[in-house]
A and B are shown apart, each in its own frame.
Chain A
C-alpha cells in the first residue's frame, strides 16, 4: 500500500484495490481525496457497480483493500482478512433506483439513517437535510407520491443524513428525464461545496462524468485502465482501448523515424513533428497515437491560419454531419485513415466545405499523444505491483 500512498495521495483518501479471477473478474485500484469526486466510467459489465458495492461492504472480493479516512474497512491480503459490515463503514449510498423505503415518508426515510444521533435531534436534522435538497414541504409524502427527481433527492438526503465518511452514487441520474437530470447534476455540484468527503460516482455517461468529476477512472472488464482528470484523460489516454472507451476518435498507428530535421512520426506519407515523448521512442518502433479533435486546425481558404506550418496535411472531406451549431467533419487522408473533428456550423459554411473537396489541416505537434505498446503494458504492470 505504501507505493499507492507515495503516489501523491494522502492517508485520508478513500483507497480501493480489488483483485479476483472470478466470478466477476476484478483488477482495479483507485483513490479519491476528501472533497473530490471520482467518476468510475466504463461499459456495462465493467465492474463499476461491483467496486462501489465493495466499498459499501455489500460485496467482498477475494483480494484487496478498502480504507477511508485512515481506517481500514476491508483487507484481504496474504493471510490477513478483515471486513467491516456496511453498518460499521459509515457510507452514504444512493442506489440506482434509489431504494427508498416505500412504507415510510420522505422524512422517515431520512430519519432512519440517523441512528448515530440522539432521538430528540433526529427530526430537526432530517428536516434540515430535506431543506438542503430543496424538498421543504414534501416531508410527509410517501415515495410513491414523489416524482423521480424528488425521490432521488430524498435518497441523497438519506445518504448524507448518516454523516458518512464517503458518498457513493450508483448511476443516480439514470432514472430521470434529461431536464431533471441537468437540474440534479447542477444541484449535486453545488451541494459538493458543503461536504468534504470522497464522492464516488458510477456512471456510463461520459458527459456526466466530465461535467461533474474531478477525477475519472476508466474501467474495462473489471480492470482499472487509467485514472486522471477529465482533461488529462481526454488529451492523453493511456492506450487505444482507453481512447475507445472514452469515445475518442483520431487514434492511428505510425512509426518513429529519424530525419535530418530530427525524430518524426511517420503516418502514411506524412512525417509529423511531435512535441513530447518521441525522444524516448526507438527509431523504427510502431506505435499508436492519438490527436484530440481540438488540435486539428482547418486551414482557411486563401488565408493563412494560425499554426499553418505545423504538420500540414492534405485530405478529402468524406463526411459532414450537422448537429445544431456544430458540424462534425470527417477527412480521409491518402492512406485511408479518417481524421474527425468538430467546427462551428457557420465556420463550415464560411469555408464552403463540401463533400469530396480537398482541404488542408494542421495537426498541432503539442496535441499528438504517443501510446507505445510497451509503455501501456508497463503501466498495467506497475498497477499490479501496487496491489
Chain B
C-alpha cells in the first residue's frame, strides 16, 4: 500500500471539492436562473471534459502550463514556481476536469426550485441573500451533495490528465490511481489489488452516503 499516494489523492480530492463547490453553486444557479447570450456555449464548454479524452485535455493543459505559455508564465510570475509536475498543477487540472461534475448536479437542482418560491421569499421580506441561504440552499442541498460526491470520487479515479500534467512524482503528483498503474507495470499484483479495493470502498461509501441522505428528508415525501 502506497500511503503517500493515498494522501496525495485525498488532498487532491478535498481541495478540488473545496474550490469547485462554491463555484458550482454560483455558476449552477446562474445557469439555472439567468438567460444570457452565449449560455449554450457556456454549458457546452463546462460539459466538454465529460466527452473529451482525458489525454487530450491533459495534453492541452501540459502545453498551457509551460513557463513559455501565458498561463504557466503568469503562474510563475505570481508564485515563482511552475505548474507542470507539481501538486498545484494537478489541482488546477483536476478543477478543470471536474467542472461538469461540480456544476451540472447543482444546476439541475436549482432548475427544480420553482421561480415563485424565490418571489414568495422576497414578498415575505427576505433579502436575496436570506433567500439563497434559507430557501434555495436547503432545497438544492441534495444537488450540492451529489456534486461533492461525484467530484470527490471522480478526482480519486482521475488518471489520464494527472499522468500527463503531473507525471508520477512521489508525494507530489503520484495519486492512488497512478500508483495502481505503476504496481501493475511492476508485476506487483498484490499491491495493485489492495489499492484498487481501497478506491472501490471509498467510492462506494461516498455514493452510498449521498443516496442514503437524499432519501431521508421527510418534507420531500408525499
| A225 interfacial contact with B, CB 8 Å | no
B126 located at the interface, meaning its Cβ lies under 8 Å from any Cβ of chain A in the complex: yes
Q: Are A95 and B120 in contact (CB under 8 A)?
A: yes
Contact across chains for A102 and B220 when beta carbons are under 8 A apart: yes
Main secondary structure of the interface of B (DSSP, over half): helix
Choice from A97, A142, A162 contacting B219 with Cβ under 8 Å: A142
Cβ-defined partner of B116 (8 Å) among A87, A97, A145, A159: A97
**Given A101-B117, A101-B135, A102-B139, do A144 and B221 touch, yes or no (CB 8 Å)?**
yes
In the complex, chain A residues whose CB is within 8 Å of the CB of B117: 99, 101
Chain-B contact segment, one of A110-118, A174-182, A309-317: A110-118
* Complex CA–CA separation, A104 to B134 (angstroms): 10
Contact between A142 and B218 (Cβ–Cβ < 8 Å)? yes
Docked CA distance A113–B117 (Å): 13
B217 at the interface (CB under 8 A from A): yes
Chain A residues numbered 81-100 whose CB sits less than 8 Å from any CB in chain B: 85-87, 90-93, 95, 97, 99-100
Q: Please, which residues of chain B bring their CB within 8 A of the CB of A112?
A: 121, 124, 126, 134
Task: Choose among B119, B134, B139, B222 the residue with the greatest number of A CB atoms under 10 Å from its CB.
Answer: B119
B70 interface hit (Cβ, 8 Å):
no
- In the complex, are the beta carbons of B120 and A115 less than 8 A apart? no
In chain A between 108 and 146, which residues have their CB closer than 8 angstroms to a CB of chain B? 112-113, 115-116, 142-145
CB of A56 closer than 8 Å to a CB of B: yes
Taking a contact as CB atoms closer than 8 A, the residue among A93, A100, A145 that contacts B123 in the complex is A93
Q: Does B22 contact A (CB under 8 A)?
A: no
B-side contacts of A162, CB under 8 Å: 123-125
Q: Which residues of A contact B121 (CB under 8 A)?
A: 101, 112
With most chain A CB atoms within 10 A of its CB, the pick from B116, B126, B139 is B116
> Are A145 and B222 in contact, with the CB atoms below 8 A?
yes
* Interface size class of chain B, counting residues whose CB lies under 8 Å from the partner chain: 20 to 34
User: In the complex, A145→B135 CA distance in Å?
Assistant: 19
Contact A87 B127 (CB under 8 A): yes
For residue B138, CB closer than 8 A to chain A, the reply is yes
Is there an interface contact between B122 and A87, defined as CB atoms closer than 8 Å?
yes
In the bound complex, how far is the Cα of B21 from the Cα of A316, in angstroms? 78
Q: Are B126 and A115 in contact (CB under 8 A)?
A: yes
A112 to B222, CA, bound (A): 23
Q: Look across to chain A and name the residue whose beta carbon is closest to the beta carbon of B219.
A: A142
Please state if B138 and A113 are interface contacts (CB–CB under 8 Å).
Answer: no
Q: A93-B120, A145-B222 are in contact. Are A87 and B125 (CB under 8 A)?
A: yes
A144 touches B120 (CB 8 A): no
Given known pairs A95-B116, A99-B116, the reply for A144 and B125 (CB within 8 Å) is no
* B114 touches A (CB below 8 Å): yes
Interface string of B126-140 (1 = CB under 8 A from A): 110000001100110
Smallest CB-CB A-B distances: 9 pairs: A99-B120, A113-B124, A142-B219, A144-B222, A86-B122, A93-B123, A99-B116, A115-B125, A103-B138
